[in-house]
Structure 1
Amino acid sequence: MDEKTTGSWLIHHTQRLQRVETQRGYERIYKAGKAGILLSAISADKESEISRERVEALAAAANINIVFELPELLRTLKELDVIDESANAVEVLGVTTKSTLTHAAKIFEAANPTDSERAVLEIAEAASTAPIKRSEALEIGDRLRLAAAVAAKAIDDSSDIGFVDSESISAGEQLLFNGNLFRRDNSAKIKRVLDSLGPGEQRALQDATSQLQARGCIEVVEVEKMLGGPLFAKVMAVGLFDLNVVSNSSEETGFVTLPSAFGKYSSSFVDDAFDLAKAFVSSITYGMTKSSSDRGKIELVAALLRTLIRGEPIGPVRAIAEDYKILELKGVVRVAQGSKKGRTGPMMWLLKREVGELALQVLLQGDASEHSLEALPTAAVTRYRGPEENQQRARKKQLKNSPTATNDILRVLRTS
């Protein structure tokens, strides 16, 4: 794997490790991933200086302990020459998502990772191309010269921690896969899935896919209605579609996107390893579809995004100070008082240009660009839950109902 792909898996695995009681055996993955998550949160396209208070707020929002973890992670990033520190501020060099992933990979290598840690990264990468059998995963251990017991534990840990999903297909045999199956060679894989379905399911899935290609992002209830409950549960459990959930104090709303929708230059898994563009698109779509009209109808969202991508602020409007807080917490945008065209009030700047470019690409796939440059919609999104977590929830729900419900899809994805 190249450094960017390695960095993507480090972030992925660290997010899974945060959900278990101990990271024992995978401490180097955890440290490198946490450093990458912190660097993503505090960095921008251009070199910037941010206050200690803001660094701590962004770190806390990223689930980084500001007493025990933050000082060590800042020290590690300083040794890598991507930040500098003073008593009251942290200076961050201009860093993109892709360079953040490269830095995470370098931190991982410098920590002298164990063969077991390398193995769980390799297993996840292999299982993202096509479902692999447990026996094939053991061959990865052989290639890394792991003892049989160590290789077996790496596979068990991968499944137990959530680095990969697993489905039993026979006594003593499993299929291992993960939510990135449809981010690569997507057309061929979708055709295989379609071929495994009945005529009615084929038509429903083709229609839903066409709608997502045309519109970019659709509310989950509409997609579920298109597919019907059983087919919806099946395709969501294997990651054929991405479910993004945004929430605020009054409701939780899901939006569906295609996993390949964010593939701009290479693998969309690398391009949006932190789910930033997905959070951006979902927040904007929430505002476009769910917000009330009393704060102004949104028009020309493409123009809005292009303004931000050029480095210019949008606003000033009151809504900016209240909406899209999740994007502030993830370090995607900055909100501050400013003046424009004789008006003064809250304004917003885009800190990560590539995130805006990816969001624009997805929204321009269809007719989502009928919304406003003058004001952001009333979204007030305060939390975002990404596709991988939602897919794992779907898997758990499905396993309770029918342990073999996805076998047909997983098996057909292994065919040439």
Structure 2
Amino acid sequence: MDEKTTGSWLIHHTQRLQRVDSQRGYERTFKAGKAGILLSAISADKQSVLSSERVEALASAANINTLFELPELLRTLKERDVIDQSSNGISVLGITTQSTLLHTAKIFDALDPSPRELASVQLAEAASNAPINMREALDIGDQLQLPAALARQVIEEAADIGFVDSEPLSGDDRLLFNGNIFRRDDPSKVKKVLDSLADSEQRMLSEVTSALQKRGCLEVSDVKRMLGGPLFDKVMAVGFFDLNVVSNSREETGFVTLPSAFRKYSTSMVEDAFDLAKAFVSSITYGMTMSSSSRGKIDLVSALLRTLIRGEPIGPVPAIAEDYKILELKGVVQVAPGRKNGRSGPMMTLLKKEVGELALQVLLQGDASEHSLDALPSAAVTRYRGPEENQQRARKKQLQHSPQATNDILRVLRTTGR
């Protein structure tokens, strides 16, 4: 496994560890992942200087404790020579997402991770290709020379924490998998799933897939109507489709995309970047479809994105101060007062060029077209919940009703070559 992939899994694992009461046994994973999350939040394509107040705000938005965690994480990043601290604030080197993942992996390695932590990363990668059973999972422990009892404990912890998803089989056996199974655009896996369904289910699933290929995304209520509740729950629980949720103070709205919609770029090693790009696409599309001309309606999205990618600010229009808060919190853009063409007001600058480039490709190639996101809320998007978190919710719902429905698909995927 290369360092970028390792870095991605460390950030993935850290996000799961933040949801449990104790990180015991995974302290090095947690520290390295937190350092990577912080670096992603505070870095831009070019070297920049951030005030202490801005660093604390971005850290807080990234769920980093500014009193206990932030000082130590800054020291760690300084030791890697990617930041410098002075009386003026924090100076950060120009960092891309892939560079962030490399630094995350190197920090992890320098912390001398335990065999348990190494096994958890290897396990997640193996389960992202196709579901694996307990014997195959235990083989990973053997390769890392873990005692059998510890290997089984690592597998149990991985399922409990959420490093991998788990479905019970007969006896004490289980299938382990995660949400990346369908992200690698493997037609054989899709075919296996279709072949396992009844003729009517195959037809409905094919119709939805075709519609998504043409339109990029569909409102979740339309997909539920087209599939019916039971089939919708079944395929969402294993990640066959991605559910993206945008929300504001008034409402929460979901839309469905194909996991391979970002297939030219989408691998597990850049999973975090795609959530940023999807959030960016959502916010930009809101400006295209929902914002009025007086607020700053986007008419020429390609020209707007190219301006941002060139490093030039856009604005000033009132909408900028309201519609891109989620991107500000994630450190993707910076909003500040400015003047242009004799007008003054809020202006926006893109801090992460690669995110803008990906959003431009998706919008221009039809993977998220203007008309397909008309279900976005009629107020500014202030929160984005990505596909994997939504898949976890779908699985919990599925387990309350019929675990066998999920198992049917997972067992089929077991026959797909890895």
TM interval, shorter chain, is over 0.9
TM-fit CA distance, 1:289: 4.8
- The aligned amino acid for 1:309 is I
Q: 1:352 to 1:346 in 2, by over 3 A?
A: same
- The answer to whether residue 267 in structure 2 is matched with residue 268 in structure 1 is yes
TM-fit CA distance, 1:286: 4.2
Cα deviation 1:151-186 (Å, max 9, x = unaligned): 001000000000111111211110000011111243
- The answer to whether residue 303 in structure 2 is matched with residue 303 in structure 1 is yes
Aligned to 2:366: 366
Aligned to 2:397: 397
My pick for the range that moved more, 149-158 or 378-387, is: 378-387
- Map residues 56-75 of structure 1 onto 2, 5 A cutoff: 56-75=56-75
- Map residues 91-106 of structure 1 onto 2, 5 A cutoff: 91-106=91-106
- Give the % identical residues: 75
TM-fit CA distance, 1:369: 5.4
- Check whether the contact 1:119–1:154 (CA below 8 A) recurs between aligned residues: yes
Aligned to 1:121: 121
- Check whether the contact 2:296–2:319 (CA below 8 A) recurs between aligned residues: no
Aligned to 2:172: 172
TM-fit CA distance, 1:139: 0.4
- Check whether the contact 2:287–2:297 (CA below 8 A) recurs between aligned residues: no
My pick for the range that moved more, 138-147 or 232-241, is: 232-241
- The aligned amino acid for 1:271 is V
My pick for the range that moved more, 16-25 or 177-186, is: 177-186
- The aligned amino acid for 1:240 is F
- The aligned amino acid for 2:59 is A
Give 3-state SS (helix, strand or coil) of 2:361's partner.
helix
Q: Distance between the aligned counterparts of 2:177 and 2:271, measured in 1?
A: 19
- Check whether the contact 1:61–1:329 (CA below 8 A) recurs between aligned residues: yes
- Map residues 164-313 of structure 1 onto 2, 5 A cutoff: 164-265=164-265, 267-274=266-273, 275-289=275-289, 295=295, 297-313=297-313
Give 3-state SS (helix, strand or coil) of 2:403's partner.
coil
TM-score (normalizing by structure 2): 0.94
Q: Distance between the aligned counterparts of 1:100 and 1:191, measured in 2?
A: 36
Aligned to 1:374: none
Give 3-state SS (helix, strand or coil) of 1:364's partner.
helix
Q: 1:156 to 1:26 in 2, by over 3 A?
A: same
Q: Distance between the aligned counterparts of 2:378 and 2:343, measured in 1?
A: 20
Q: 1:364 to 1:226 in 2, by over 3 A?
A: farther
Cα deviation 1:255-283 (Å, max 9, x = unaligned): 22222222334x43323325211211223
Q: Distance between the aligned counterparts of 1:285 and 1:414, measured in 2?
A: 38
Aligned to 2:374: none
Cα deviation 1:313-367 (Å, max 9, x = unaligned): 2211001001110100000001111222222111111111111122222222328
- Check whether the contact 2:291–2:297 (CA below 8 A) recurs between aligned residues: no
Q: 1:356 to 1:84 in 2, by over 3 A?
A: same
TM-fit CA distance, 1:292: 6.2
Aligned to 1:387: 387
Cα deviation 1:35-84 (Å, max 9, x = unaligned): 00000000000111111000000000000000000000000000001111
TM-fit CA distance, 1:405: 1.2
- Check whether the contact 1:61–1:330 (CA below 8 A) recurs between aligned residues: yes
TM-score (normalizing by structure 1): 0.94
Give 3-state SS (helix, strand or coil) of 1:230's partner.
helix
My pick for the range that moved more, 276-285 or 247-256, is: 276-285
Aligned to 2:37: 37
Q: Distance between the aligned counterparts of 1:386 and 1:368, measured in 2?
A: 15
Give 3-state SS (helix, strand or coil) of 1:181's partner.
coil
Question: Any unmatched runs of 5+ in structure 2?
Answer: 372-376
TM-fit CA distance, 1:222: 2.1
Give 3-state SS (helix, strand or coil) of 2:87's partner.
coil
Cα deviation 1:159-215 (Å, max 9, x = unaligned): 000011111121111000001111124322111111111222222222222222222
TM-fit CA distance, 1:301: 2.1
Q: Distance between the aligned counterparts of 1:145 and 1:370, measured in 2?
A: 53
Q: 1:162 to 1:25 in 2, by over 3 A?
A: same
TM-fit CA distance, 1:294: 6.5
Q: Distance between the aligned counterparts of 1:250 and 1:4, measured in 2?
A: 38
Number of matched pairs: 410
Give 3-state SS (helix, strand or coil) of 1:226's partner.
helix
Q: Distance between the aligned counterparts of 1:94 and 1:41, measured in 2?
A: 12
Cα deviation 1:295-316 (Å, max 9, x = unaligned): 4653232322222112122211
- The aligned amino acid for 1:269 is S
My pick for the range that moved more, 213-222 or 143-152, is: 213-222
Question: Any unmatched runs of 5+ in structure 1?
Answer: 372-376
- Check whether the contact 1:284–1:379 (CA below 8 A) recurs between aligned residues: no
